Chain A
Amino acid sequence: MLRYIGKRLLMLIPVLLGISLVVIILIDITPGDPARMMLGTQATEEQVEQLREDLGLNDPIYVRYGRFLWNTINGDFGTSLMTKRPVADEMLLRLPYTLLLVSLSLVMSVIIGIPIGIYAATHQHTWRDSGVMFLSMICVSVPSFVFALLLIRLFGVKLQWLPLSGVESWRGWILPCVAMGLGLTALIARQMRSDLLEIIRQDYITTARAKGLSEGKVIYRHSLKNAAIPVIMVIGGVFGSSLGGSLIAEQIYSIPGMGDYIMKGLSNRDYPVIQSGILVISSMFALVILLVDVIFALVDPRIRSQYVSKKRGRMSKIAKETEEIQAV
């Protein structure tokens, strides 16, 4: 298992190399001159040119790419052009906000979505199931920023129960988490329902019933674990998309997280911020996908057996010994 994880971690390296290359190219082809942005419209052409030279912006793209890689490997994420603060320090301050937002909304959607999915599946063909599925359809289809705005209107402006924005107190976290979590909850509930319905039709569930197990045991012991496998996959993917989704939520609710940082970096052409920010977010996504695969292997022995070097069966050992004896 450890060897498998190590192998997967090694495989991350080319992925991250690829991502950083794409980011560099994208920054290169987007219009807008960072040096000009820094100095403002008053500055002369010479001053701008001088700054470009100082920043190394005039170097060919492969040189810049190489420099970026080298610095990153040495733990230097650069300095923000705008604030002149080290990007690494700033990210360390901001990352917790984003991680908290994403994990809170994800935990919420898992805790609520999975029971809802089970409930719907075990009440198939009743109005309860149809009702739940109808609601979830709406939650999946409406973009999360629409929810964010609606929630602000309702709870912030009309009822004035919760703050409009800012996360100085824990109450400020409620709206952004709910706004981000609604769609995820619905997505997870739908996935759970369809997987469970698929599993319940399997022969081994009939076998479990034929043993005299209670319906609870049939569902929890035999169906849920099997149905969980695709759900975990969806949760992993959802984590990635909510890293993106937090970008918008952070803007709407003024949360000083990574999304906010990258957005500011983008509008200022603050390329060290963009490069390192995206690299960090992508690495986190890649790590989550790895985590999902590890959980997969833990849950499903069929997958596990592909990775774990099987302990040599006794039979083959005996066979080998007899061979050796014969050789002597």
Chain B
Amino acid sequence: MEENLLEIRDLAVEYHTDDDVIYAVNNIDLTVKKGETLGLVGETGAGKTTIAKSILRILPPLQAKLMSGEIIFDGQDVLKLSEKEMRKIRGNRIAMIFQDPMTALNPIETVGYQIAEAIKQHNKIHRSEADKRACDMLEMVGIPMDRFDEYPHQFSGGMKQRVVIAMALACNPGLLLADEPTTALDVTIQAQVLDMMRSLRTRLDTSVILITHDLGVVADFCDSVAVTYAGEIVERGTARHVFKSPGHPYTLGLFGSLPRLNSTERRLSPIKGLMPDPTDLPKGCRFCDRCPEASEQCREAPPAGVETEPGHIVKCHLAKGAG
């Protein structure tokens, strides 16, 4: 758990549409250690998927523009690799579970083929051997292997999600980018999928970036947490630190919107207001319009990161540095 497997520095991504520039990711820093699971949380549109896709360099090439940053994976800046070198990493050393299982599978290829394809791409093995391993992967995610030759439309949403997971795990990646892998699943299956990822983690020491809306999942699955807001990471640290002493008002707000079983208040208290328009971000703190404690300073200047505890960084003017 010492060396950093992934280190993102100063990453900025914009989407250029016909008449707007969407500032989707704004100068974020992030590290993931070997074997660590990082929970990436935040509202819809905060830029979580964009961060994950940047790591694999699979952003839509025409709209997305990488403005700055380094993404060091295992000592190499993936942004500097050639397309050919990058292909050896994709699906092999870094794999991604996509957010929407309904659209992530090719409708006119069998699910078995789609899993075997990834295996065959990265291993010098015969087709039949790849098929066999793909069958094993299907069984592993709890789909009987005689459904190998079926097409995605014959599968339920949850089963498609498992196929997507099987595909991502097929080559035993060192880093797994799981974009809301359990959102489409019911609670029991959710637990199974998380167990599956957990066993992979212990078996292969895989690092995971888990994108989720579910703070409960973060609490019992993640070693550390990064909270995204309007394309920034407003708070990151170990899960223990962040849950015990959240430093950013937004994080506090998120925790406030968690239904607590032991509290007398059963209603969610979602944070008031909306995330700022990503085409027109405020010049000060991005959260100031919704922040109950915002001051003049917050509106004027963007806050810098403050280390409140070792490794616990909060981007807020009100945060107080440790010692």
Contacts and interface: CB of A to CB of B under 8 A. Distances in A.
B154 A305 contact: yes
Contacts of B107: 204, 226, 300-302
Interface in A87-142: 124-125
A125 B108 contact: no
Given A212-B88, A302-B107, A314-B146, A203 B117 contact: no
Contacts of B88: 212
Nearest to B110: A301
Nearest to B99: A203
A301 B153 CA distance: 8
Interface string A240-251: 000000000000
Interface string A215-226: 100000110011
A252 to B, nearest CB: 42
A314 B83 CA distance: 45
Contacts of B60: 201, 206
Given A301-B151, A301-B153, A305-B154, A212 B104 contact: no
A208 B118 CA distance: 8
Residue among A212, A215, A222, A305 with max Cβ neighbours from chain B (10 Å)? A212
Contact of B62 (A125, A213, A215, A225): A125
Contacts of B109: 221-222
Interface in A284-328: 299-302, 305, 314
Interface residues of B, number: 34
B96 interface: yes
Interface string B30-63: 0000000000000000000000010010101010
Given A214-B87, A305-B154, A206 B58 contact: yes
Contacts of A204: 103-107
A211 B91 contact: yes
B100 A210 contact: no
A211 B98 contact: no
A209 B98 CA distance: 12
Contacts of A210: 56, 58, 90-91, 95-96, 98
B87 A213 contact: yes
B121 A211 contact: yes
Contacts of A203: 98, 100, 103-104
Contacts of B114: 207
- How large, as a class, is the contact surface on chain A? 20 to 34
B108 A211 contact: no
A199 to B, nearest CB: 10
A125 B104 CA distance: 26
Contacts of A214: 87
The secondary-structure label for the interface of chain A is helix
Contacts of A209: 58, 90
B58 A211 contact: no
A233 to B, nearest CB: 15
Interface in A120-173: 124-125
Interface string B78-106: 00000100011111100110101001111
A207 B104 contact: yes
A302 B118 contact: no
Contacts of A226: 106-108
A206 B89 contact: no
Contacts of B154: 305
A195 to B, nearest CB: 14
A42 interface: no
B242 interface: no
Residue among B96, B109, B164 with max Cβ neighbours from chain A (10 Å)? B109
A221 B116 CA distance: 14
A300 B152 CA distance: 12
Given A213-B121, A301-B151, A207 B56 contact: no
A221 B60 CA distance: 19
B252 to A, nearest CB: 34
Residue among A207, A225, A305 with max Cβ neighbours from chain B (10 Å)? A207
B122 interface: yes
B167 A207 contact: yes
A302 B151 contact: yes
Nearest to B121: A212
A202 interface: yes
Contacts of B98: 203, 206-207, 210
Interface string A177-214: 00000000000000000000000011110111111111
B153 A305 contact: yes
B289 to A, nearest CB: 33
A213 B87 CA distance: 7
A301 B152 CA distance: 9
Residue among A124, A213, A226 with max Cβ neighbours from chain B (10 Å)? A213
Contacts of B121: 211-213
B196 to A, nearest CB: 19
Given A211-B90, A212-B87, A214-B87, 5 more contacts: A125-B62, A212-B118, A222-B106, A299-B108, A302-B151
25 contacts: A203-B100, A203-B104, A204-B104, A204-B105, A206-B53, A206-B104, A207-B164, A210-B56, A210-B58, A210-B95, A210-B98, A211-B121, A212-B88, A212-B89, A212-B91, A212-B92, A213-B87, A214-B87, A221-B109, A222-B109, A226-B107, A300-B107, A302-B108, A302-B151, A305-B151
